[in-house]
Chains A and B, each alone.
Chain A
Amino acid sequence: GAVVSQHPSWVICKSGTSVKIECRSLDFQATTMFWYRQFPKQSLMLMATSNEGSKATYEQGVEKDKFLINHASLTLSTLTVTSAHPEDSSFYICSALRWGVNEQFFGPGTRLTVL
Chain B
Amino acid sequence: QKEVEQNSGPLSVPEGAIASLNCTYSDRGSQSFFWYRQYSGKSPELIMFIYSNGDKEDGRFTAQLNKASQYVSLLIRDSQPSDSATYLCAVRRGNAGKSTFGDGTTLTVKP
Contact = CB atoms under 8 A, between A and B. Distances in A.
Nearest to A49: B98
A108 B42 contact: yes
Interface in A29-71: 31-32, 34, 43-44, 46, 49
Interface residues of B, number: 23
Contacts of B92: 102
A103 B49 contact: yes
B32 interface: yes
Contacts, number: 43
Interface string B19-52: 0000000000000101010000111111001010
A102 B41 CA distance: 26
A43 B98 contact: no
Nearest to B36: A106
A90 interface: no
Contact of A104 (B46, B102, B103): B46
B98 A44 contact: no
B107 interface: no
Given A103-B46, A106-B45, 5 more contacts: A43-B88, A43-B103, A46-B101, A106-B36, A108-B43
Interface of B: 32, 34, 36, 41-46, 49, 51, 88, 90, 92, 95-99, 101-104
